[in-house]
Amino acid sequence: MYFYVMVILILIIAIPDIFFYRKLKDKNAKPFYIILHLIPPVFYTALFVYMKYGMPHLHNYRIVIVIMWAVFIFLLIYIPKIIHIVFYFLEKLYEKKYKRKTPHFNIVRITLTVVLLIVMLMSAYVTPRRFEVTHAEVKIKNLPVAFDGYRIVQISDIHLGSWNNKYTRFQPVIDMINQQNADIVVFTGDMVNNFAQETEGWDSLLLQIKAKEGKYAILGNHDYGDYTQWKSKERQNDNRIQIRQNIRQMGFRLLLNEHEILRRGNGSIYILGVENWGKLHNARYGDIHKALRGTNPDALKLLLSHDPTHWDEQIINKKDIVLTLSGHTHAAQMGIRLFGTLYSPASLIFKHWAGLYQYHDQYLYVNRGLGFIGIPMMIGTRPEITVITLKEAK
């Protein structure tokens, strides 16, 4: 957690709770109710301070899950409080101006609060289980004839630790992937939140994923264990090595700034996989030049790169890389779909954040991911399995 985020969250606690504390005092409430009122602000202030200063040293992913849900409950408590305060002052302004009372503010306040609470509960308990299969057709010039109709299933950002070892909830994902008759399945990073232990018990399930010609994976920013303070560099390296080994045990060919050749009939294309290459310089492990080493510069290439920022910064104008597959953004786990178009706060951070993009003869697809991170909610977006079909451009 950034320092300024912690400050904002504490202000969100302080402002409404000071308001309600004064109301209780004005009404001469019993000390029991005042103490009861003070429990949430004290608890959450301590929690947010811990998240800033103590959580980086935490190595138990199950506690991280508990904290995620505690933050969700924080929103359930404090959003209604803020709504109440806003409408309280709006009502006071109305009364001051028109010299009369009206019930409409209370009606709107209660209705808005109930609707928001229902949306939040649905976003935590329903939407994350409504897996969506999306289809995209990519038309590529000079595509080998044998690859016309080639089906690539892309999944991304599973964040296994956030599933809290509830394996049966993931079985529908496996079934939906296998129903797509994929030639290859690709995973574009963030298998875990931070720790190798998160993968325990998942290999048997992910081994069920089937593809005619192989399963490929890359690492995301969360697959390096960089979001915690390790007691030694050796422990961090051991964690990284174990995460990589576990991904391989799930049946994936892990591409670490490497390439392989996909062959079909008399045709072939390269599949490249780079390590994470993000906005921050300390999160740039990817090396596209290393991945390209030894490839035919005139041959068509498919790139797996976790962060779509990489496409913007290094891949555009590398015309032989005709398709890049990314994840990372989660579409901010929040959005609204109007007239078939998804709008999300993710657009304020990422130029390309969900769906298919085209620049001349190059394509980028950004998958919204299957898991969640930070807050266990998906508002207006659904976890995604992408089916990309390659077609020869006429």
Nearest to 382 by CA among 198, 205, 113, 176: 176
pLDDT value of residue 26: 87
The HSE-up count of residue 129 (CA atoms within 13 Å, CB side) is 11
pLDDT value of residue 339: 84
- Strand ranges of the sheet holding 362-366, from the earlier edge strand across to the other edge: 258-264, 267-273, 301-304, 321-326, 362-366, 355-359
Report the interhelical angle of 61-98 vs 31-53 (nearest 10°): 130
Question: What string of H, E and C letters represents the secondary structure of the chain?
Answer: CCHHHHHHHHHHHHHHHHHHHHHHHHCCCCHHHHHHHHHHHHHHHHHHHHHHHCHHHCCCHHHHHHHHHHHHHHHHHHHHHHHHHHHHHHHHHHHHHHCCCCCHHHHHHHHHHHHHHHHHHHHHHCHHHCCEEEEEEEEECCCCHHHCCCEEEEECCCCHHHHCCCHHHHHHHHHHHHCCCCCEEEEECCCCCCCHHHHCCCHHHHCCCCCCCCEEEECCHHHHCCCCCCCCHHHHHHHHHHHHHHHHHCCCEECCCEEEEEEECCEEEEEEECCCECCCHHHECCCHHHHHCCCCCCCCEEEECCCCHHHHHHHCCCCCEEEEEECCCHHHHECEEECCEEECHHHHCCCCCCEEEEECCEEEEECCCCCCCCCCCCECCCCEEEEEEEEECC
Phi, psi at residue 341, to the nearest 5°? -110, 135
pLDDT value of residue 250: 97
Distance (Å, whole) CA 67 – CA 55? 10
Phi, psi at residue 173, to the nearest 5°? -65, -45
pLDDT value of residue 25: 86
pLDDT value of residue 375: 92
Please count the other Cβ atoms lying within 10 Å of the Cβ belonging to residue 232.
Answer: 8
pLDDT value of residue 282: 84
- Strand ranges of the sheet holding 384-392, from the earlier edge strand across to the other edge: 132-140, 384-392, 151-155, 184-188, 215-218, 253-254
pLDDT value of residue 340: 82
132-140 and 151-155 strand pairing = unpaired
Report the interhelical angle of 31-53 vs 3-26 (nearest 10°): 180
Q: Is the dihedral of CA 51, 53, 56, 57 positive or negative?
A: negative
321-326 and 301-304 strand pairing = parallel
Structurally, what CATH architecture does the domain formed by 132-392 represent? 4-Layer Sandwich (3.60)
pLDDT value of residue 28: 87
Beta bridge partners of 16: none
pLDDT value of residue 279: 87
pLDDT value of residue 97: 92
Kindly list the averaged pLDDT for each block of 10 residues, start to end, along the chain of length 394.
89 94 88 90 96 91 94 96 95 93 93 96 96 97 96 98 94 97 98 96 96 97 95 95 98 98 95 95 93 96 98 95 98 91 92 96 97 94 97 91
Residue type, position 75, single letter: L
Burial grade of 25 (CB within 10 A; 0-12, 13-18, 19 or more): exposed
Distance (Å, whole) CA 194 – CA 330? 17
Domain ranges of the chain: 3-125, 132-392
Residue 57 in tokens = 């040293």
